[in-house]
Structure 1
């Protein structure tokens, strides 16, 4: 930290819970086994599901690679010039004049102990938000106090105050509504995927022709997009309350 108190870097300081690393692997291994069984059962008739095991193997490799990069590469650096968020692959930098606000927000429900409960986001003047890596309750005892101290130290470096603007707040709330809609759309598409898996197994058992590409790709994607679009239209008229943690 420099004399102004704003120079700092947030890296991984604590190891994630072991379950954070094991559970994704177990889930994907189970999916791999189930898909291999479906593929084997379909060899005798129908088109089968031959591309399932390679697809899940690729997905597993990509997931493991992303977790590794996130743990050892992702970080946030703060200087007198601005903020740099180094993600698993790419980095992005904002000058202080481009930063509208920095907020600590509660993670989506359902993450439990498998992920940080409080995350820190940077908002620009277009209402867009960006994750500040490692500035969370896994790596810091009190991320809200850290962010409050950071904003106080950075105040002299900004040409604007930290006061909230109604037009930007409206954009932020609409962005939150959009993300919430597409999150539920993804959940809906995943649910439809598992339903289609049951349908495909039933078709194989009774000897009917199966269409895995339609069942496992087209139907879940279409269902998720439609659900997300409907929810986004509905919530756009009543955007959710900002999830930022209040003092």
Structure 2
């Protein structure tokens, strides 16, 4: 650490749970096998297996890069968040707040439950890699200590500003709307899957790309946009949990 006690680096120190790596691999492998079988039997498209193979390769590369490259570095000059590919830095004068927040619902035990985000003065949120409950016993205490050590390096205090808080709230509502849009897309996909099977069983022409790709994506986007507009007028009572 430096003289002010602020210099530190957060990297992967603990191995992730086996389910974090095993479950996505099994899902992708099963999808690849099923797609290859259907394509081989003449019931699918030829580009299915190569696309799934490419997605599997990209996912493995993404996990490997995150494993070896991702980190958060804190110095007297500011904070640097190194992602799997690119890095982003902020001077202390550009940092509005650092907050520990609960991970989105549905992440389960195969992902960190508490994540740390940096907010700038425009209300934008950025994830700080490995500053979570997987790598730290108490991320709250760590962030509190970090903010206390960084206070002398800032020209501003850590006081909250109503205009920035309003933008942060608006961003939280937008993320929530698109999360619900993704849930709607999954529900529509399941419905379209049943419809496609029924059309095949009834001897009618099936349109798998239209029914299971175009319709779910369009439905999810439309639902998210409508929900985002609605919440901009009448926000829910508790859009995001504050730690």
TM-score with structure 2 length normalisation? 0.93
**Is the CA contact (8 Å cut-off) linking 1:38 and 1:201 kept in structure 2?**
no
The DSSP-based 3-state class of the residue aligned with 1:180 is helix
CA distance in 1, matches of 2:49, 2:204: 22
**Is the CA contact (8 Å cut-off) linking 1:106 and 1:118 kept in structure 2?**
yes
TM-fit CA distance, 1:230? 1.5
- In structure 2, the residue matched to 1:216 is 212
TM-score with structure 1 length normalisation? 0.91
Change (3 A) 1:141 1:175: same
The higher-RCO structure (CA 8 Å, 6+ apart) is 1
Q: How many residues align?
A: 241
- Is 1:186 aligned to 2:182, yes or no? yes
- In structure 2, the residue matched to 1:16 is 16
TM-fit CA distance, 1:186? 1.4
Listed as ranges, the gaps of 5+ residues in structure 1 are none
Root-mean-square deviation (Å): 1.7
Listed as ranges, the gaps of 5+ residues in structure 2 are none
- In structure 2, the residue matched to 1:31 is 31
- In structure 1, the residue matched to 2:222 is 226
**Is the CA contact (8 Å cut-off) linking 1:82 and 1:96 kept in structure 2?**
yes
**Is the CA contact (8 Å cut-off) linking 1:121 and 1:130 kept in structure 2?**
yes
- In structure 2, the residue matched to 1:140 is 136
1:127 to 123, 129, 144: 123
1:238 to 221, 235, 239: 235
CA distance in 2, matches of 1:157, 1:223: 48
- In structure 1, the residue matched to 2:77 is 81
1:176 to 172, 185, 189: 172
- For 1:76-119, what per-residue CA distance to the aligned partner results, in whole angstroms no more than 9, with x for missing partners? 00011100000011000000010000000000111111100000
